[in-house]
Chain A
Amino acid sequence: DIVLTQSPGTLSSSPGERATLPCRASQSVSNNYLAWYQQKPGQAPRLLIYGASSRATGIPHRFSGSGSGTDFTLTIDRLEPEDFAVYYCQQYGSSPITFGQGTRLEIK
């Protein structure tokens, strides 16, 4: 199984700043099939990014994804109050599909 490591587990930032969230895979993710999700308390995850860098429908341009192989990054520019949540990466290039443990983005 591909293990996805998201470190740090918690990231503190302020509104208006840029946040960079890393996701490292234990082996290369096939075709860069890497997605990012946002989850708020009591809600289901919400798809943000797929294919490492493609934004899902309706996702603001301040969210961007990058990376390839084993190292991927979710970047959030000009943080809005509603962006403080937990973010998960997911690889879907190999079976079984796996998720990272998540990074909590909290207000500094």
Chain B
Amino acid sequence: QVQLQESGPGLVKPSETLSLLCTVSGYSIRSAYYWGWIRQSPGKGLEWIGTIYHSGTTYHNPSLQSRVTISVDTSKNQFSLKLSSVTAADTAVYYCARALQNIFDYWGQGTLVTVSS
């Protein structure tokens, strides 16, 4: 059974970098799927952040592109998200998910990240 689990700090200071890790189990990240990050906040609803393939090819939401780095570590079956220069507007529940043609069929449980000093 495919499972995804987000991990990382729940509190980040303004202007710093948010870093999250997604650990995948029950499925090899090298196989024929993409892996994505989506966030959900009360103000903006669900927002696609970006997607990565095991080869390292990435796609980002242009609204966040300059601040987002998504990478993959196939040896650990993990992929990660870094979002720089965060503000209170980046406070949200962050989800990692498996994607085929940008359809998200398996999701992690989500992790709340609060941006505050």
Contact = CB atoms under 8 A, between A and B. Distances in A.
A107 interface: no
Contacts of A92: 101-103
Interface string A72-104: 000000000000000010101001111111100
B59 interface: yes
A98 B48 contact: yes
A99 B101 contact: no
Residue with the highest number of chain A CB atoms closer than 10 Å, among B95, B107, B110: B107
Contacts, number: 48
Nearest to A35: B103
B102 to A, nearest CB: 4
A50 interface: yes
Q: Is the interface of B mostly helix, strand, loop or mixed?
A: strand
A33 B13 CA distance: 38
Interface string B85-117: 000000000010100011111011110000000
A98 to B, nearest CB: 7
Interface string A7-40: 0000000000000000000000000010101000
B: contact size bracket: 10 to 19
B108 A44 contact: yes
Interface of B: 45-48, 59, 61-63, 95, 97, 101-105, 107-110
- Measured as residues with beta carbon below 8 angstroms from the partner, the interface class of chain A is 20 to 34
B48 A96 contact: yes
A95 B99 CA distance: 14
A90 B47 CA distance: 10
Contacts of A96: 48, 61-63
B107 A56 contact: no
A96 B46 CA distance: 12
Contacts of A100: 45
B104 A102 contact: no
A46 B104 CA distance: 8
